[in-house]
Amino acid sequence: MKIQGLAIIAIIIILPMTILLSSYARNQIKTLDLQIQYDTKLQNATYDAIKAFQLNMSNSSTSDLANSKMRDIKASINTFYNSLTSHFNMSGYTKNVLQNYTPAVVYTLYDGYYIYSAYNNELDDEDTFDDLAEFKDGETIYGLKPYIYYSCRYKPNSNSDFTIIYSLDSYITIQGIINGKNVNESGYLLSSVDKNVAGNYTYRGVEIKEENNKEGLKQNVYVEYKQGGQQASGNKRIVKPSTGEILGNILKYPCQKINGVKYYQESNDKVFAIINDVKYDQSDVTNITNNKNGIKYYEDAYNFKNKIKDLGLTNLKASDAVDSNGKKYSNYPKEEDNPFTNYNIFEELFSSTKNIEDKDSNFNAHKMQVIKNSIESNLIPAISNYNKVSITDVNFAMPKLQEYEWEQIAQNVSMITFLQGLNIGGKIYNGYSIVSNDNTEDFVPEDSIYILTGVANAGELGEYHQVTEDGLENKINNNTVGIFKADFERRATVAESKLNNGEDEYSTPVYYYPREDIASYTSIINANEKNSGKNVYDYFKNVGQNPSSNLYKLAQIYYTALGRERYGMYRVTNKLEDVQNQLVSQGN
């Protein structure tokens, strides 16, 4: 055959193949581009939703309570769908359409999580239908499912059957029967907490001090002016522009948080609280400036550590965990895949070489597996059941999350969203997004305490820094104090003036900052300082051996502030009589 003939045959064979391969490559590139676009849109919508959740919680005095938190989550979910619709508007997807492709939304909180998904509203056999009911029998409803704790059940012996509820830090609650006795105990697990010869509490060799009358512990708060009442002094008045009538003042008072509520000290020794913009005077409390929250935090941790020992839990193993039916976890193809193997959960609690708070401790490894197992075991059926209510023909299934993503979830208040089933050309889109809320008052991680320097007198502005900023120990003085970073965020409230008949005459938004200090450029704004981001426990390692050093004093300020903020958190396990006794005893 002549070479011309071979060339023609080659062209006939190769040209169509080249065209097909070129078309395939273009389609693959287009599919990949669409996937990246959809990932970005889902990520942005999730970020908008978690930001809305953050703002709603920070501006509500009752955000710790379950009904208030559910309200904030529902508002956040509405923001998510509105944002998602906005991002997908050019693609022709409406909110109702997109909702059919989002099988679940998860909010992981301090000690548990909510799953938002669709379900069928089906009456039980013994129920009767009410014609006035909001939802019909058999109707598909989108809503929050009951709150689920990060909990695990244990049966180490025949006389013990109990549950441990975990949290994002080392706080746990133990409930059930241990060695034949009913137990209901809660507390922080801290390894290196101790008492010195003087009877004072120490943490990692650093003595914890009482915090009194420091300018840095004062906070701004909006106090509404009541007609006929005494006008508060101050220069930050909020006025009605048309008449000049004073609505109220933004004033700075000594502040202390007890059980999630901030209490303020007036100059006349009166104490009040602001709850959802309403001022409540405290008749039984005359002084909150004696701030012993830091000491009480380590005292409780010291006592709880001894309770763990007294309860006989020092040898509790992960392999003692059982499922809801009381059976040990053994349905893993490989033993190394079993998260509940034979290691001691509380091994580092009494160790002299390692702390239970360390990220690589047995306790934290087990806690992450408990959180992962709980979320997976409830989310998998929630997403799978979406196949029964969705009007699409998509086969919904939970994707496999990576280990670093589970670590992110186990260490932060987060939001997880899923978007599945959209056609992106060469394949079906199956994406998810995880965004953390790094500024919440529900959780006080180690990196949420900033160090405020240079505040000596009322009206002065200080500068706040990351605790590991290089050379910070040389800037501290007697007025240096640790501040929870959420207190540097802007607050919003509503000022109202009432008519004689009780109806609203007008209202105006009021914005203020509890602390107005300046952020350090090197470790907060730029965050490129030498030690920024370094593990704080490593940074303060062995400082307890040199109490005269500036680094010891900085560690003392930091550890005290961390304890103060954690002790002041709201917890459902707090006993109301203990809270009241603490308030009444503040002046003693």
Q: Are 83 and 45 in contact (CB under 8 A)?
A: yes
pLDDT above 50 for 229: no
Structure tokens at 477: 């003085």
Length of the chain: 588
pLDDT recorded at residue 342: 80
Structure tokens at 496: 């109202």
**Residue 319, CA atoms < 13 Å, CB-side half-sphere:** 9
Residue 195 domain flag: no
Kindly indicate the confidence band of residue 313, based on its pLDDT and cuts at 50, 70 and 90.
very high
Kindly indicate the confidence band of residue 30, based on its pLDDT and cuts at 50, 70 and 90.
low
Residue 182 domain flag: no
pLDDT above 80 for 315: yes
Kindly indicate the confidence band of residue 500, based on its pLDDT and cuts at 50, 70 and 90.
very low
Which of 404, 421, 437 is the last residue in one of the domains? 437
Tell me the C-alpha to C-alpha distance, in Å, between residue 225 and each of 237, 249, 271, 302, 510: 10, 7, 17, 45, 13
SS3 assignment, position 531:
coil
pLDDT above 80 for 286: no
Alpha carbon 138 to chain centroid distance? 35
- Residue-wise DSSP of 90-143: GGT--HHHHHTT---EEEE-SSEEEEEEEEEE---TT----TT-SS-TTEEEEE
Burial of 439 (0-12, 13-18, 19+ CB in 10 A): middle
The pTM score is 0.87
Q: 249 with 139, same domain?
A: no
Q: 452 with 517, same domain?
A: yes
List the domain range (segments joined by +) for residue 402. 3-124+135-149+385-437
Residue 79 domain flag: yes
Of the chain, the percentage scoring pLDDT greater than 70 comes to 79
Cα–Cα nearest to 116, from 380, 417, 465, 449: 417
More confident call, 388 vs 292: 292
Q: 455 with 579, same domain?
A: yes
Distance CA 25, CA 21 (A): 6
Compute the average pLDDT of residues 433-449. 89
What DSSP designation does 344 have?
B
Residue 328 domain flag: no
Compute the average pLDDT of residues 345-361. 89
Q: 525 with 547, same domain?
A: yes
Cα–Cα nearest to 259, from 483, 562, 588, 581: 581
SS3 assignment, position 172:
strand
pLDDT above 70 for 496: no
Q: 429 with 491, same domain?
A: no
Distance CA 147, CA 145 (A): 7
pLDDT recorded at residue 129: 55
Kindly indicate the confidence band of residue 62, based on its pLDDT and cuts at 50, 70 and 90.
low
Among the listed ranges 217-231, 241-255, 260-274, 359-373, which one has the minimum average pLDDT value?
217-231
Distance CA 277, CA 58 (A): 13
Q: Which are the contacts of 135, defined by CB distance < 8 A and separation ≥ 6? A: 121, 141
More confident call, 271 vs 562: 562
Q: 431 with 452, same domain?
A: no
* Segment (H or E) for 310: helix 293-310
More confident call, 406 vs 392: 406
pLDDT above 90 for 28: no
The count of other CB atoms within 10 Å of the CB of residue 513 is 14
Compute the average pLDDT of residues 144-156. 93
Q: 458 with 582, same domain?
A: yes
Q: 421 with 526, same domain?
A: no
SS3 assignment, position 88:
coil
Distance CA 111, CA 148 (A): 9
**Residue 278, CA atoms < 13 Å, CB-side half-sphere:** 4
Q: Which are the contacts of 279, defined by CB distance < 8 A and separation ≥ 6? A: 223, 224, 272, 273
Alpha carbon 35 to chain centroid distance? 30
Distance CA 368, CA 506 (A): 50
* Segment (H or E) for 153: strand 151-154
pLDDT tens-digit map of 514-525: 999 999 988 888
Q: 114 with 47, same domain?
A: yes
pLDDT recorded at residue 179: 93
Residue for token pair 């559910």: 70
Distance CA 57, CA 232 (A): 28
pLDDT above 80 for 585: no
Domain count, the chain: 2
pLDDT tens-digit map of 403-440: 999 999 999 999 999 999 888 776 788 899 999 988 88
Q: 561 with 466, same domain?
A: yes
Residue 405 domain flag: yes
Q: Are 449 and 483 in contact (CB under 8 A)?
A: yes
- Could you tell me where the DSSP H helices lie in 154-285? none
pLDDT recorded at residue 125: 56
Q: 450 with 432, same domain?
A: no
Task: List Cβ<8 Å contacts ≥24 apart for 422-427.
Answer: 422/38, 422/93, 422/101, 424/31, 424/34, 424/35, 424/38, 425/27, 425/30, 425/31, 425/34, 426/27, 426/28, 426/30, 426/31, 427/31
Q: 419 with 524, same domain?
A: no
Residue 71 domain flag: yes
pLDDT above 80 for 246: no
Q: Where are the beta strands (DSSP E) in 213-315?
A: 218-224, 237-239, 246-258, 261-265, 271-275, 278-282, 290-291
Distance CA 582, CA 288 (A): 10
Residue for token pair 């409230």: 493
Compute the average pLDDT of residues 227-241. 57
Residue 320 domain flag: no
Map 375-389 to HEC letters. HHHHHHHHHHCHHHH
Residue type, 247: L
Residue 409 domain flag: yes
pLDDT tens-digit map of 34-56: 788 888 999 999 999 999 888 88
Distance CA 377, CA 149 (A): 13
The count of other CB atoms within 10 Å of the CB of residue 268 is 6
Which of 437, 456, 472 is the last residue in one of the domains? 437
Q: How many helices and strands in the chain, by DSSP H and E? A: 10, 28
